Amino acid sequence: MSSTDTAAPLTKDGSADSASVEAGLDALETVQAQRTPVSAVLRQKVLPPVLGVVLVLAVWQIAYSLDLTTPDKLPSPADVWHSLTELWYEGTLFSIIWTSVWRGLSGFALSVVIGTPIGLVVARIKPVRAALGPVLSGLQSLPSVAWVPAAIIWLGITNSAMYAVILLGAVPSIANGLISGIDQVPPIYLRAGQTLGATGLRGARHILLPAALPGYLAGLKQGWAFSWRSLMAAELIAASPDLGLGLGRYLENQREFSNMSGVLLGILLILFVGVAIDLLVFSPLERRVLRSRGLLVHSR
């Protein structure tokens, strides 16, 4: 071993020198994340779906004008618009939508409250997972409309039956979303958390749950879709004055009157609400989470 360092001249200001090299490297290697301007967002994100809707309307109008079938089977877009304005002037449009949306959202919220702890327990406790994991995945592939007859026998034609159907549809998909979110957490985060002293409940709160958030959000999004679908199925099947007039019931009423433009309006409103909640609530939430983690930088 040599005892003298031949590169000695450097030692005096070596530290200052390396600081400036470091600052240079930092400047060279920092990526500037740039936000896309509003006009580009409008052009790339808003315009295509608007064009798509216009195209569908055009095809519809052409099919109507060509008299492919009778107007009582295929009304024109204007007829459906007329049904909409009718509801608007009767003042029932918003109450119909709100009845269903309120039921759907509150049922969904309840599903989150129930599904989250179930997902957490199944994901983290091995014997529970072995027992309940397959049941949850199985339930997820069961169309929840299959629960409607059972719910009606158990609970009668009541609001509780509606909520039961929503829960049976949404809870498994929320729980499964959380489970797969937890499964995808890179083990390095858990080890890092452990060395920092985040174990047990503190580990779940500070490391596990935030790390699993993207998968959990995907599960919530799917859970909402399931809630909405199950609710519409339940409203279509179960008729009772106690239930109030929701979108599913409105749709079924229009069928009973053989009012095709009303039926189409019902379908469009159900579609509209489902998409609107997704676009207004879940997509922005998901994008925000993914962007803040750098998972959405080049996805255009």
Comparing CB distances to other proteins, the nearer of 5 and 242 is 5
Residue 143 Cα distances to 112, 138, 146, 166, 174, angstroms: 19, 10, 6, 11, 15
| Shortest distance, position 282 Cβ to other proteins, whole Å | 18
What amino acid is encoded at 68 in this protein? L
Minimum Å distance from CB 144 to other proteins?
A: 32
Minimum distance from residue 271 beta carbon to other proteins (Å): 34
For residues 53 and 188, which CB has a smaller minimum distance to other proteins in the complex? 188
Of the pair 31, 38, the CB lying nearest other proteins is at 31
Decide whether 75 or 193 has the Cβ nearer to other proteins.
193
Contact (CB, 8 A) for 165 and 139: no
Task: Please say which residue, 29 or 256, places its beta carbon nearer to other proteins.
Answer: 29
- Of residues 126 and 191, the one with the C-beta less far from other proteins: 191
What is the smallest separation between the CB atom of 9 and other proteins, expressed in angstroms? 10
CB of 209 to other proteins, least distance (A): 10
Instruction: Give Dmax over CA atoms of the chain in angstroms.
Output: 101
Binding site for other proteins (CB under 8 A): 1-8, 10-11, 14-15, 18-19, 21-23, 25-26, 29-31, 33, 188-189, 191-192, 194-198, 202, 206-207, 210-211, 213, 289, 292-295, 297
Cβ 249 to other proteins, closest distance in Å? Answer: 42
